[in-house]
Every structure is written in structure tokens, then in C-alpha cells.
A and B are shown apart, each in its own frame.
With several copies, the nearest count.
Chain A
Amino acid sequence: MILPRRGEAVIVQGITGRYGSLHTKLMLQYGTRIAAGVTPGKGGESVEGVPVFNTVKEAVSKSRARSSILFVPAQFFYGAAEEAVLAGVKLLVAITEHIPVRDTLKMLELAKKHSATIIGPNTPGVIIPSQGVKLGIMPATSFKPGRVALFSRSGTLMYEVANELSSNGFGQSLALGVGGDPINCTTLNECIDLAQGLNETQEVVIVGEIGGDAEERLAKHILDRGFSKRVVGYIAGRHAPREKRMGHAGAIIYGDYGTAESKINALKEAGAEVAMTPMEIPLLLRKRRDRRERT
């Protein structure tokens, strides 16, 4: 996964839509260099001063962008993603929700074949504060530059945690939401692998939630492959009732499967510390950094 750096061109697909145009403005305000937009049939127009093209190929050849953020409606999403990958885009941020699952699987396959990465679908996106790069819909003010890599299964809870981190002096090297759909094209495991290679990243914060087994898989991955940086986890839903679908399709506990306890224990066994509330995350980080500075 190659994330864009400061001043690197990115494009917006579906730039003329309601959310596409609003977030183009907000991403530009953050400093992201939106160099071109794409909406078939609207080539020649402009949004917030960004030129709009009919095809990704044109947008990419004019802008040299390697990253794209997509606000394309679910029905047209696969076509837009395919067009991007074939035009040489290497990072696709898929904000769209309600994409048919087979389209997601095909996208994933196509992306792998062309060594491209897809974040999402149904993700709030990714933000790299030190680079002034935001490819997503997250509120910019909650994120500050720093050394914590933040990965989250939940969108707004990622904002909440970022806000807690930032206001307690823990900026983020990057923050990324893996998305709320049944299939995550980038998994928590891949996020950890990414964080391993980021020099500016000192700690990793994982925001999980009840249901499924993504956190357990992550814990196993850490134990199997090893991970040299500190990990703090937080799992939402300790007090959620069993057998009830808590918003996300997978956020449901059956018997003992998918409980916060199971996830907390797995993360602890893999050597992570686990916070009980978003507010506790910076406290744990502080202790660790203090301890580290002492040793």
C-alpha cells in the first residue's frame, strides 16, 4: 500500500455529486492536492476549481495521480473502480456503501492483479496529518500529526478516538477505517503490516467492536508473524446485550462468539494493552511512553 504524500496529486471520482463536491472542498481545505475529478458526461466542468474529466484515464494523465477517492453510487462502483485500476491508480478509497458483494470480490481480485490497494468499501477513508493528506470524510480538526497509527472498524468511533488522542498530545501518523461491509478489501492484518513498515509510527491503536472475529484474527497474525511496535486496543460494546444486531451487519454476539471479552482477551494474549473507554487510550499510551522513556 503506497499512501500519498504532501502535494501528491489525487483524484476524486464522482466529484460532482452531493458528497463528492462537499468533501472535495473539505479535503482541499485540509491541504490534499485534489488535482482532478471524474464524472462521466461532466468533463469540462469544474468543482471547487478542480477540473472535471469524463474518464479516469484523462484525469490521471493530466494529474499524474496514483490515488483516487470514490464517491460513486453503488450501481456504478465496480465500473469506476475497474476504470481507475486500469488507468494505473494504485490506491482506491471506497467511501460508497451498499456495493454488491460480488462487485467487491471482483474489485479485490482486480486490485491484487494490478498491485493496487482498495480501502473499504463503506469506509471513512484515510488521513495522514503530517502530510496534510486526507482521503476521506473524517472531520479534519480531530486529527493531528504524530506517531500513533490508528486503525478502526468503525467510522465515527475512529473520529472519537482520534479526538481523544489529539487532545492529549498523541498525534497520528495515519488513521484508516477498514469499512463496515461484509468484505474489507484492506483488513486489520494488512493495516498492521503497513504500520510495521512506517518509521514515523511508534504505537498502533486498534478500534474494534463486538461481532465477527477480525480482532481475534489480528491477534493471531501478531502472534504468528510478530510485531515490533506497541499496540493498544479498544473494543466497543462491552455492555451490549447478546443476540442483538447492534447497527453493523456483523456487530452481534452469539453465545460467546464475538463478545468484547473474547476480543479483549485475544488482544491481550498477543501482547496488546486494552483500554476500557476511548478516554483511557491516551492514558495507556502515556504510561507506555513514560515507561519506555524510563527504561
Chain B
Amino acid sequence: MKLFEYQAKELLKEYGIPVPESELAHNQGEAVAAFRRMPHPVVLKSQVLAGGRGKAGGILAASNEEEVTEAFGKIMNLEIGGERPSCVLVEVSVPHETEIYLSITLDRGARAFVVISSKAGGVDVESLKGRVIQKISNKGITKGEAQSVAMKLHLSGEERERFSRIVANLERLAREKECELAEINPLAFTKRGGLTALDAKVILDDNALFRHPEFSKLHPEDEFEGEASRQGFAFVRLEGNIGVVGNGAGLVLSTLDLVADAGGNPACFLDLGGGAQRERVEAAVNLVNKLPNANRILVNIFGGITRTTDVAEGIKSVIEQGVMKPIYARISGAEEREAREILAKTPVHLHPSPSEAVEAAVRSQ
């Protein structure tokens, strides 16, 4: 699992590795406020997992509030590698002279983790002749080994000390957090003689995530959003506990608002689309049933092209397949009486209006 830059940098900070002052902005207001709080100029950086953000236009400099506003808008609207950012990192721009590439990664042939470093940062590090590779024991890198990396890079004095501390800290991070890769590229020597991680990339060992609950909330949505999209549902993972399912994007949006207004928290947005038949309803309810943060399901259907009896049959069939989270449903439209009859002997809580169904779902528990 790959982390976003800001998450990777939070880890670096936690491990005592200097990073430029920065703040995360989810909207224009936050971006401007962050800008006001820090020295200028700044850079705004798209928080996507895809590489090549700079060339794609996902990293823009700004020297005044107008430029921040403009850059923020541009970055939020820019898709990079099929991915749009959900936030932007506003970061103090760091003038610097030289760059170093530094990473900790697994060498399969050597059956060990290694430090890789070279004196020029940038993307083509693999080809550089001055590349230093140092095997790391399972206990971690020693001070002497970290210093020998620095020496092989011809660093001396204060620079050597600072760099080898960073090597040691990055290695400890990679070891303790169980990273497949922990990379700083570039690590910059600033004009004032300090060292700062300008960009960072961290990939975690998926098999080790069970030991790191601190990461469990980072990308919870991928699996479900992927499955939903494959099945052709419009689906958005949210953070609450009420799984919201309906037919028609507007109706589901409106249901989310009702849930929020009633003090509840939706766990997802799931639009069945038009004309959903039994199998699709089954698939949708099953999906929300699997969603770990949903502990109940709210179904809001207004039948038009969708037949309410198909919806009812789908829900019934899912219930017959096994234990379910509580379902609160409102089913209106043609044949609604027949639909209600189909669900009469099931544990589904049927309500005549969306407000009542929402109220019941929010109040339950």
C-alpha cells in the first residue's frame, strides 16, 4: 500500500527527519489560510498516488493569495493518471543547492533490506555511477554503517553527521513501520546548510498491515469502490455507519442529506441506477452488508423504471442467504403494495416515508 506524500511526510517528521513546513488544504479557504500562516513563496502539491505530478501540472508555485487560489483550483481539477486529488499540500518553498537520492528497500537476491543513495536526486538515479548500496541487518543499521554511506557519498563534517542521522532514522522508520520502500527523493541541502526531505514515497508491506492499525484507515475505500464500480453502481464510501442505497443519484443524495440532518452519518452513497433488477439489488445490498463501517442499511426506493417488486425480491433473497445487518426501507412507486407484501415476513423495517425510514435508521441501536 502506497501512502500519499503528506502521510509519508508525517511519518518522516515522526522519525525526526526534517521536512518543509506544510499544511493540508481541502478547500480554497484552507489553502489561503495556510499560505497566510507560513513564509512565502509556497508550492501547492496535488495529493495523488500517481507519479509524475510535477510534469502533469500537479505542483505549482505561488507567491501571493491570488496565485494560491488559482493554483488550488487548477490542481483540484487536474486528473493525474486517472486520479483526482482530494486535497492539496501547501508547503514552504525551500531554496536549495544540491540533492541526494535516499531509499530503503528489499533486495530479493541479497535477501536483505538495503540503503540506496546517490548524490544526484531525481528520477534517473538507477543509472548513476556514484550509487551507494549498503546491506542492512534485521536489527537495523548501525551508526558506523550509516556514516559509511555518507562517506561513500563524499560528505564530510556537519553534512556527514546530518545525513547519517537521516539514514538511520529513515531505516528505523522503514523497519518499524515495515515498509517495502521508504524513499526520500530529493533530500535537499538547503542554502542554510540543513537537510530537508522535499518529497517522500512510502510503500507498506500489505502482509504486515495487521500489526499496524495506525494505517488501517488510510485507504479503506479502494476495495469496495472497485467492486461497486465493476458492478456498475455509482458508489462513494463515506465515514459513517448507515449504508444508504437508493435508485437515482438525486434521490440518494437527498437521502444522505436527510440522514445528516437527522444527526446520522452515512456509510456510503450507492445508486442502483435505473431499471435495477433483482440480481443487481441483491449485489448492492450484499456490498453494503460487507462494508465494515456500515452497521445498518437504509434503502430508499422510488419505483419508476425500477420495479418495486424486483427490489423487494432482491432484498428478500439476500436475507434468505444469511445473517444481515438491520435494514430500514422505504419503497414507493408502482406495485408498492406487492413489494411490501414480499417483505412482510422478513425482518426488514418498512416505513411509509423517507423521513420515517431515515429517523428509524438513525435512532436505532
Write the residues of chain A forming the contact surface with B, with a CB cutoff of 8 angstroms: 19, 26, 74-75, 97-103, 105-106, 108-109, 124, 137-142, 152-160, 163, 180, 182-183, 207, 209-210, 212-213, 217, 236-248, 250-251, 254-257, 276-279
Contacts and interface: CB of A to CB of B under 8 A. Distances in A.
Contact of B257 (A140, A236, A256): A236
A278 B254 contact: yes
B205 A156 contact: no
Interface in B208-236: 208, 210-211, 234, 236
Nearest to A183: B111
B84 A155 contact: no
A23 to B, nearest CB: 8
Given A100-B211, A245-B236, A159 B77 contact: no
B234 A247 contact: yes
Contacts of B178: 100-102
B303 interface: yes
B47 to A, nearest CB: 11
Given A140-B334, A255-B72, 20 more contacts: A105-B113, A106-B138, A138-B304, A139-B303, A153-B250, A155-B250, A159-B332, A182-B106, A183-B106, A183-B108, A236-B254, A237-B254, A240-B253, A243-B85, A245-B236, A247-B249, A248-B249, A251-B253, A277-B258, A278-B354
Contacts, number: 179
A55 B23 CA distance: 51
A254 B77 contact: yes
Contacts of B76: 243, 254-255
A237 B86 contact: no
A187 to B, nearest CB: 8
A156 B261 contact: no
Contact of B253 (A74, A140, A217, A246): A246
26 contacts: A75-B211, A97-B274, A100-B207, A101-B180, A105-B138, A109-B137, A124-B304, A137-B304, A154-B248, A156-B302, A157-B254, A159-B251, A159-B332, A163-B332, A182-B106, A183-B106, A183-B108, A209-B249, A236-B250, A240-B253, A240-B256, A243-B84, A247-B252, A251-B253, A255-B76, A276-B257
The listed residue with most B CB atoms (<10 A of its CB), out of A19, A105, A157, A209, is A157
Contacts of A102: 138, 175, 178, 205, 208
B49 to A, nearest CB: 14
